[in-house]
Structure 1
């Protein structure tokens, strides 16, 4: 059984060399939009405000400007990458955004919103259960002015960030590897591993150890399974946006990739507990709910 979603690549020019070119161009697009942030940091180094030996440390960079400014500049590369990707798909592959997103006639936004609100609910429940168990480890961090700015930045930029990651891994690369290998398990596995490895530079890896990589790769597998079983990216788009948006607005910590003016601050010692609970309990529950709601079948054929 051929994957309807992967087969969407054939609606345009699926030449492998064009996919390689596309990834190079998307990377360049992201790099161009990262220039403002890099120039600001370079200027601080030049003025002696910043230590050049430490600028590779994300936690250190957060000390050089306020969290909202940091979030804005850190999100800009994703804006450049997403714009470039859409241009690559349209101009080089002659493919529509719809066919990159789904095998359906049009993008099913009801699926996006269902996935978003369902997973947002799960994140909120997990957070408040943790708060009830260890209330002393969560402190009030709310500042009305800073949070208002954070909220406006987040609702615009974080969905762009998560959409770029989904369109690259669950869309562009999934289809590219699928048509080149004529398999489904290969793009599922490879995109999940690459997705996980690209989080290697996150501060969480330093604080939590390499075990967190299992969570990142596992999340990639979850999103890949959702995409292949549902023959579209709508569910993964909603999930990823909810996960990052709610986290950025709800709780921050001094050792995470997103250090924001969130409502709460986690002052506990870094722990993998939340990630383990998500993988062991919430991920299977999410797959169960989605499979029932959307009547998924032929698991072996669609995934292997």
Structure 2
């Protein structure tokens, strides 16, 4: 059983207080964010290009995308440890140990929500998803996804909802301001995804921002990254292995594939699914 502070503001204050230890000069955060953006993201782009040039067959693009995010993960941990002299757990949770059960709960609930969403989409638009399973290829990608997807999502969460959100929390004590700023930063690199170019930046930007804002609220309300990592991992795993679509930024071998990406339905599913997810974990239970 997890006991949460009564309000979002109280739980956010607890999460931001993780930065009270260590070294916190403003120049350290300025340098830290710059290093992560320049070395982690731009360097990750170089790593992506290098891996994509290797003869890795059908897994080349998938491995390249994940390898670039491993660079981000490494840089965040180095910056946090050496520049701020804090243990990496301070990026993750206010609990004494990481609540792995919370990670799996978040993944399970979001997985059910995604399954319901895709079922509704298939009912509303018959024929949109077609059977595309190639078992040998799918099983190979399954092994890769089980290993790489949690690391890829943890890398994004540790930076956007860990390091950057905490940095903004030292400046703006009202939780909504850091949540908005971290969501804007989260949106920016995702606008380079293939589906953004294919379907227009406007609605895709709103979708990415909404997902980022949902994840930030979960972190601040739960005073830890566990639920966000679980949700994010389930989301990406389902898109890679179960319900893929054309122009996916993580091309793999899904069981079902849609020839079209519906940005309006995607945004609606994030909004409604996010409300259900938040209510499931943080609804008030009367004594």
Which TM class, normalised by the smaller chain length? 0.7 to 0.9
Mapped contact 1:30–1:79 kept (Cα < 8 A): no
The offset of 1:31, in angstroms, is 4.4
Summarize the Cα distance change of 1:135–1:102 in structure 2 as closer, same or farther, 3 Å threshold. same
Summarize the Cα distance change of 1:183–1:134 in structure 2 as closer, same or farther, 3 Å threshold. closer
Q: Does 1:28 align with 2:20?
A: no
3-state SS of 2:96 partner: coil
**Count of residues in correspondence between the two structures:** 273
Q: Show the counterpart of 2:26.
A: 16
Mapped contact 2:51–2:64 kept (Cα < 8 A): no
Q: Show the counterpart of 2:6.
A: none
The offset of 1:249, in angstroms, is 0.4
Q: Show the counterpart of 1:298.
A: none
Give the number of the structure whose alpha-carbon radius of gyration is greater.
1
CA distance in 1, matches of 2:50, 2:220: 41
Q: Does 1:7 align with 2:2?
A: no
Q: Show the counterpart of 1:264.
A: 256
Summarize the Cα distance change of 1:17–1:229 in structure 2 as closer, same or farther, 3 Å threshold. same
3-state SS of 1:107 partner: coil
List runs of 5+ in structure 1 lacking aligned partners.
45-63, 296-304
3-state SS of 2:254 partner: coil
Q: Show the counterpart of 2:207.
A: 215
CA distance in 2, matches of 1:197, 1:32: 17
CA distance in 1, matches of 2:48, 2:195: 22
Q: Show the counterpart of 2:106.
A: 115
CA distance in 2, matches of 1:222, 1:36: 29
Q: Show the counterpart of 2:146.
A: 155
The offset of 1:33, in angstroms, is 5.2
**Deviation string, structure 1 residues 114-161 (Cα, Å, up to 9, x no partner):** 001110111122112322333322211111221111111111112111
The offset of 1:199, in angstroms, is 1.1
**Deviation string, structure 1 residues 88-116 (Cα, Å, up to 9, x no partner):** 22222111122211112221111111001
Mapped contact 2:51–2:63 kept (Cα < 8 A): no
Q: Show the counterpart of 2:4.
A: none
List runs of 5+ in structure 2 lacking aligned partners.
1-8
CA distance in 1, matches of 2:45, 2:96: 35
The offset of 1:75, in angstroms, is 0.8
Summarize the Cα distance change of 1:263–1:25 in structure 2 as closer, same or farther, 3 Å threshold. same
The offset of 1:237, in angstroms, is 0.9
Q: Show the counterpart of 1:232.
A: 224
Summarize the Cα distance change of 1:65–1:136 in structure 2 as closer, same or farther, 3 Å threshold. farther
Mapped contact 1:12–1:93 kept (Cα < 8 A): yes
Q: Show the counterpart of 1:48.
A: none
Match of 1:38 among 34, 49, 63: 49
Task: Using structure 1 for the length normalisation, give the TM-score.
Answer: 0.82
